[in-house]
Structure 1
Amino acid sequence: MRAGTTIPAARDRRSRTGRRTRTACTAALLLAVTALPTSAAAASDPTHVDGRLPSGATYTMDVPAHWNGTVLLFSHGYTTGPANPAQNAPDDATKALLLRDGYALVGSSYATTGWAVTDAVPDQLATLSAFTERFGTASRTIAWGRSYGGLVTTALAERSPDRIDGSISLCGLVHGGVANWNNTLDPVFAIKTLLAPDSDVPLVGIADQGAADAAAGTLTSVVDSAQTTAEGRARIALAAALHNIPVWNQPTQPRPGAADWDAQQANQYEAVKGLLKIAAFNRRQEAEARAGGNMSWNTGVDYARLLGESSVRKEVSELYRKAGLSLRADLTALNRAPRISADPAAVDWMSRTSSFTGRLTRPQLSVHTIGDALVPVQTESALKRAVTAAGSAPLLRQAYTDNAGHCTFSPAEQLSALHTLEDRLTTGRWTGTDPDSLNSRARKADPTTPTRYVPYRPTPYPRPYDLAHPADRR
């Protein structure tokens, strides 16, 4: 039986010095457990606490009776709408394994939904303070998060390193906000320019969610129509390549052969429609409203160069050849089309709140699926470049799983990442970050779910000049 309690927000404790001993933590936990029923079952159940922060965000905590002294601060992904629950684990199966192994799990909702990093970071820190007030100081604190939560986690790692010991980003937007929205602009710019040149669909400066719905619907219909012709399919593949959409991007899709260009494009077609329906308009409109204007641009972008660096450029060339189209002519059309300029104030807001310098002071492990269409694996190249330029490369390790989809990690793979970071924190050096070691750890943690770590090196992120705030560029 779980006991639910609402407690006030704790004060923000900035110093990580003077940690209490494990004995003190255990004593605090025993005091909390005395409020539970005295049945044998209740004695082994986690202590469950729900609460609300002054910001209006809620938080949730689960602390097992055999707490091992480590607290995991989980940052959840992008949410919209009125439902905004607090989350302290990526999924129920992984949560159960973590509690079994003695980890305390905490996490908040954010005071607002959408592109809410300015709420998420302080809300997560306040949740840590509330945990410390209730259960005592943890011997180790690890921040982790998935998808947009990977961006929040990386922001915590850069901006509040005194509150954590290390961090894990899973399928995260680790290229930062400015790069994310620029990378989202490129494929829709290609679709409109090549498939709907006379359309008045706004790609930026979207008035409201109604206008976003209308724009998404219009370009989705254009893409559906284009998919019926060889010429249209080639151009959809070009748009997909500018976002580095992989040719296998959903677990339900058949994995196409290396030269099965038609099957590859069919898989990308579904992902392009998903991009139009989710991020390109509705989420963009919400982010623009926060930023106070358009934070994206393609002035100065050479689309021939972007295609040349894409992971799927060979597929595009082959489909253009098959369709009898001139790829050179379409790239010239893209490069000559009227460009989109950004609002400097909006870029500044997005840079200050949502971009990264690469200056790590605590170890970070970043993990990505290789078949991610929403947050392509090339974002990891952006993170590595920024961290290397900042002189923090020894603190970063990256790993890749051979599966399709966004954040489709198994519980075993996620626990393996956690144990790898823990080894780094314990020994002071990275060991076992190769795929064989990661898979071995995963099988030991949970032999019932897949282990798919593989050697992988993503192609370069296509826009190297828009990753960080201008003041932080070198």
Structure 2
Amino acid sequence: MRPLLRCVLLLGLLPASSPVWTQAPAAARMLSGELQGAPWRLDVPQHWNGDLVMLTHGYEPVGVPRTTPMTASDSTAPLLAAGYAVAQSAYASQGWAVADAITDNERLRQHVLTELKRVRHTWILGFSMGGAVTIASLERFPQHYAGGVSLCGANLAGEQIAADLLTTLLAFDYFFPKADGLPTAGLASREAAGLPQATLYQGIASALQRDPQHAAVIARQLQVSSDALPGTISLHALVLHELATRSGGMPVGNVGVVYSGFGDDAAFNAGVRRIDAVPSAQAQVRATLALTGRVKRPLVIQFNSNDPTIVPHMQTVYPQLAAQVGARPLPRVLPAVGEGHCDFSEVQVVQALKAARS
């Protein structure tokens, strides 16, 4: 689970009392509070350059404890050192909270402008799930931003993410039916949604270990290493079931989908479980988690090498979509750096933001 946890931020529940400026590290002022259930903080460096960065964090598993006051993300310090004010929301809910995060971030942006006068430009920068929040915010509120950066971002519409995750779970269920410690109905079942993540991970890892040949088929299709495969599959299960819970049912189906790349594709297509989407859930995901490609502000995208969470075929989706719809300017994709998921140095984070300005 290390790739997942690398982008998890331990954020704090804050009291509903009026925010008060306090002195923070690096000679910065810090203001914190809560907006409609979403803890937030604003840090301003001593030598502020007049620009504001809305910093959107990645996936935080449901139930992860939050601290008081909200803890700044690791990227706050280098952005402050570069002269930027940094505002960040913990979001009102945990889990795959993209829709909440878009709303909470916009509400915070509006509030920050009442606290911080004479903002020259506002930028948005997000990691992992926060990358999707960044792009959606640029699409929906272009008038409020000078540009944005998506780092190691899940830059796909909710329905497409759900389809990819469902394929993962159904492929596992096909090759590893009735695996020990897992529901007999499979990873895509409601029974799997109720299992603790550690139980899912252990059951998946044990099954994969007993049949390395079929494990290699899934790893090749997912574009991850065999070592990373248990964590990737268990993460896919976690996120898909959260999407289903939030939307009120399975938001995607595979009836009529023709799969390839799973060895004996005829046998796979004949034997893989077929699931119908719940129409209301599908409609909700399409409405709340849509990405159109129609970005109207400078957008910089950057990934890491060998990322087991945002794999290569996911990384190309948004730039291709933007090109198809004729977005101007087109997103700028920087060369990959680092290894794994969200492995960026402090210097690289600031450089990516500077690239959005150029």
> TM-score per shorter chain, which class?
0.7 to 0.9
**In structure 2, do the counterparts of structure 1 residues 237 and 301 end up closer, same or farther at CA, with 3 Å as the change threshold?**
farther
Asked if 1:335 corresponds to 2:269, the answer is yes
**Alignment partner of 1:47 is 2:26:** no
Q: Which residue identity lines up with residue 173 of structure 2 in the other structure?
A: K
Letter in 1 for 2:239: R
Residue among 392, 395, 404 paired with 2:330: 395
What is residue 292 of structure 1 aligned with on the other side? 248
Q: Contact (CA 8 Å) 1:205, 1:294: kept in 2 or not?
A: no
In 2, the alpha carbon distance for the partners of 1:192 and 1:61 equals 46
1:432-447 aligned at under 5 Å gives the runs: none
Structure 2 unaligned runs (5+)?
1-13
Is 1:357–2:292 an aligned residue pair? yes
Which of the residues 203, 208, 211 maps onto 1:218?
A: 203
State the alpha-carbon separation in 2 of the partners of residues 342 and 181 from structure 1: 11
Q: How far apart, CA to CA, are the structure 2 residues paired with 1:173 and 1:142?
A: 19
Match of 1:269? 226
Residue number in structure 1 paired with 2:65: 83
Question: What is the letter of the counterpart of residue 33 of structure 2?
Answer: G
For residue 174 of structure 1, what is the amino acid of its counterpart? N
Within 5 Å, which residues of 2 pair with 1:9-408? Answer: 45-53=27-35, 55-80=36-61, 81-84=63-66, 90-91=73-74, 94-196=75-177, 200-207=184-191, 209-211=193-195, 213=197, 216-226=201-211, 233-245=212-224, 268-280=225-237, 282-304=238-260, 306=261, 327=263, 330-337=264-271, 338-408=273-343
Residue 58 of structure 1 deviates from its aligned partner by: 0.9
Query: How many residues are matched?
Result: 338
Deviations 1:123-175 (A, max 9, x none): 11121122111121410100010000111111111111122111100111102
**8 Å contact kept, 2:162–2:243:** no
- Could you tell me which residue of structure 1 aligns to residue 348 of structure 2? 413
TM-score between the two structures when normalised by the length of structure 1: 0.65
Contact 1:6-1:49 within 8 A present in 2 as well: no
Shift of 1:234: 2.7
The corresponding residue for 1:259 is: none
For the 8 Å contact 2:148–2:300, the answer to whether it is kept is yes
Q: CA deviation at 1:365?
A: 0.7
CA contact (8 A) 2:319 2:330 kept: no
Q: State the Cα RMSD in Å.
A: 2.8
Q: In 2 relative to 1, CA 212–299 (structure 1 residues): closer, same or farther, beyond 3 Å?
A: farther
Give distance in 2, aligned partners of 1:153 and 1:7. 29
Query: Hey, what's the Cα distance between the residues in 2 that align with 1:193 and 1:208?
Result: 15
Unaligned runs of at least 5 residues, structure 1: 10-31, 37-41, 227-232, 246-267, 308-326, 424-474
Query: Aligned-pair distance for 1:381?
Result: 1.4
Tell me how far apart the structure 1 counterparts of residues 318 and 275 of structure 2 sit (CA, whole Å): 26
CA shift in 2, pair 1:129/1:394, >3 Å: closer
Q: Match of 2:227, SS?
A: helix
**SS at 1:178's partner residue?**
helix
Q: Residue 345 of structure 1: CA displacement?
A: 1.7
Name the SS for the 1:409 alignment partner. Answer: coil
Shift of 1:422: 1.3
After superposition, what is the alpha-carbon deviation per residue over 1:8-46, rounded to whole angstroms, capped at 9, x for unaligned?
Answer: 59xxxxxxxxxxxxxxxxxxxxxx98x87xxxxx99811
Q: In 1, distance between residues paired with 2:17 and 2:320?
A: 43
Separation of aligned partners in 2, 1:242 and 1:7: 51
Shift of 1:274: 0.3
C-alpha distance in 2 between matches for 1:145 and 1:57: 17
Larger RCO: Structure 1 or Structure 2 (Cα < 8 Å, ≥ 6 residues apart)?
2
Report the Cα distance in structure 1 between the residues aligned to 2:242 and 2:308, rounded to whole angstroms.
Answer: 21
SS at 2:332 equivalent: strand
**Counterparts of 2:286 and 2:72, CA distance in 1:** 28
Q: Secondary structure at the match of 1:182?
A: helix
Question: Which residue in 2 is equivalent to 1:432?
Answer: none
| TM-score (normalizing by structure 2) | 0.85
Aligned-residue sequence identity (percent) comes to 28
Return the offset for 1:295.
1.6
Is the Cα contact below 8 Å between 2:306 and 2:340 reproduced in 1? yes
For 1:240 and 1:181, how far apart are their aligned partners in 2?
A: 18
> SS of 2:215's equivalent?
helix
Residues 412-437 of structure 1 deviation map (CA, whole Å, 9 limit, x = unaligned): 221111111112xxxxxxxxxxxxxx
The alpha-carbon distance between structure 1 residues 88 and 122, as it changes in their structure 2 partners (threshold 3 A), is farther
Q: Is the 8 A contact 1:74 1:87 kept in 2?
A: no
Q: 1:174, 1:380 within 8 Å by CA — same for their partners in 2?
A: yes
CA contact (8 A) 2:138 2:297 kept: yes
Deviations 1:435-465 (A, max 9, x none): xxxxxxxxxxxxxxxxxxxxxxxxxxxxxxx
Separation (CA, whole Å) in 2 of partners of 1:380 and 1:244: 12
Q: Equivalents in 2 of 1:176, 1:7: separation in Å? A: 36
Cα drift, residue 82 of structure 1: 4.6
Which structure has the larger Rg? Answer: 1
Shift of the 5–78 alpha-carbon distance from structure 1 to 2, 3 Å rule, reads closer
Amino acid at match of 1:396: P
Q: Is the 8 A contact 2:296 2:329 kept in 1?
A: no
Q: Counting helix residues as a fraction of each chain, which structure ranks higher? A: 1
Distance in 2, Cα, partners of 1:206 & 1:217: 18
Aligned partner of 2:3 in structure 1 is none
Q: Is the 8 Å Cα contact of residues 185 and 191 (structure 2) preserved in structure 1?
A: no
